[in-house]
Amino acid sequence: MKILGFESSCDETSVAVVADGLVLSSVVASQIKLHAEYGGVVPELATREHLRNLLPVAQSALHEAGLRPTDITGVAATRGPGLPSALMVGFRAAQSFAWVLNQPFLGIHHHEAHLYSPWIGGQPPRAEFDHFEPAISLIVSGGHTLLVHVPSEAEHVVLGSTYDDAAGECFDKAAKLVGLPYPGGPEMDRLAAQGNPSAYAFPRPLINEPNDDFSFSGLKTAVRYFLRDHPEVLEDGQKVRDMCASVQQAIVDVLVTKTLRAAARLRVGCVSGSGGVTCNRGLRGALSLACRRQGLRLRLADPSLCTDNAAMIAILAERKFLRAEPSTPWSADILPGWPLANSGSGTASPA
């Protein structure tokens, strides 16, 4: 099969070509610089940028793959969740491609694609589902924090999510309070690498609760009050680095503790992780150490595939086409609030 995949759920316009499990191309036009000025993603600007970039990105993806549009045998796009107007650009463009090429079309759940992206490996990247094993998967991004049981390649059960802010949002908001540019997560990661994670004690919300849910808004508030009471910290470069390391450690401790606890409870031998926050070196290191101690295998998405990309959309679509999941009807619309629990097949309907 030769699949053309589209992703436009937030602030990356991406198109990828996958052939028989191999990623032939994955082109990503990031809008980070555009939104940095506003300290967050502005939906109207994101949509216009997707409209501007989508066709050139699709042309580059086909060109890099050395294919013509008529070589494509299946088309897929992110159907949800995401920013409604942003989703619409990639979804409708992909449907039009599929219709003109007279090829099947699949609308893909964005988090289901993140969920299986740890099983894309190597250089050039290819699907490694021969190595699939039941796992507890942590999906941590700017909008979501999900703990998922993945008993088989085609099944997933959402165990928990966040009551309020996502882990990435907590990174970004704490970084903003410290005065770091948007998106703050990567900046926090960079400064934390030179700081002392035990310098300041920040709360680890819900860490001892016997459930799989998360809550990060209290931690963000703790950072705000800490800076109100200790403004001098911002005057000292080393104290800022110590603070970044301490905030990062609080987030990482919660994510790692709850993920490993779920893995022990459900007796899986593998932990997997994906989503933008999985780029965080503190999280990658802590998960790696904890899994080694508990004799668990760890599969983390390659950093290039942690953030939003169309390669994960096209790879998952190909697996679904191979499993003969029904294609998404032409009348189907985007699903901006699509819950992961309902993403099982191409025709899954919204809750």
Give the footprint of Zn ion on residues 103-162 (CB under 5 A). Answer: 141
Q: Closest separation between CB of residue 11 and Zn ion, Å?
A: 10
Choose between 47 and 309: whose C-beta lies nearer to Zn ion: 309
Give the span between the Cα atoms of 93 and 171, in whole angstroms. 33
Q: Using CB under 6 A, which of the segments 73-81, 115-123, 277-285, 290-298 binds ligand KG4?
A: 277-285
CA 273 – CA 118 distance, rounded (Å) = 7
Of the candidate residues 5, 80, 104, 186, the single one contacting ligand KG4 (CB under 6 A): 186
Give the helix/strand (H/E) hosting 297. Answer: strand 297-300
Instruction: Please select the residue that binds ligand KG4; options are 195, 197, 276, 346, rule is CB under 6 A.
Output: 276
Site for ligand KG4 in 300-319 (CB under 6 A): 307-308
Consecutive H or E run containing 57: helix 43-65
Largest CA distance in the chain: 64
Q: Select from Zn ion, ligand KG4, none the partner in contact with residue 279, using the beta carbon and a kind-dependent cut-off of 5 to 8 Å.
A: ligand KG4
Distance in angstroms (rounded) separating the CA atoms of residues 80 and 347: 13
Site string for ligand KG4, 149-168 (x = CB under 6 A): -------------------x
Nearer to ligand KG4, 19 or 86 (CB): 86
Least distance to ligand KG4 from the beta carbon of 175, Å?
8
The H or E element containing residue 107 is strand 105-109
Distance CA 141, CA 150 (A): 18
# residues contacting Zn ion (CB under 5 A)? 2
Q: How far is the CB of 340 from ligand KG4 (least distance, A)?
A: 13
How far apart are the C-alpha atoms of 86 and 302, rounded to whole Å? 25
The verdict on 24 binding ligand KG4 (CB under 6 A) reads no
Q: In angstroms, how far is CA 62 from the centroid of its own chain?
A: 24
Q: What are phi and psi of 212, to 5 degrees?
A: -105, 20
| Nearest residue to the partner ligand KG4, using Cβ | 276
Report the relative pairing of strands 270-274 and 297-300 from DSSP bridges: parallel
> Beta strand pairing status for 22-30 and 270-274?
unpaired
Scanning residues 195 to 234, which ones bind ligand KG4 (CB under 6 A)?
none
CA–CA distance from 99 to each of 112, 173, 201, 331, 347 (Å)?
Answer: 24, 42, 56, 12, 17
Considering only 165, 189, 212, 242, the residue that binds ligand KG4 (CB under 6 A) is 189
Binder among 119, 132, 171, 338 for ligand KG4 (CB under 6 A)? 171
Residues in the chain: 351
Tell me the three state secondary structure of residue 143.
coil
- Residue 185 binding target from ligand KG4, Zn ion, none, CB below 5 to 8 Å by type: ligand KG4
Structure tokens at 202: 């920040």
Q: What is the smallest separation between the CB atom of 264 and ligand KG4, expressed in angstroms?
A: 26
For Zn ion, the binding residues (CB under 5 A) are: 141, 308
Interface residue list for ligand KG4 (CB under 6 A): 10, 141-143, 168, 171-172, 183-186, 188-189, 275-277, 279-280, 307-308
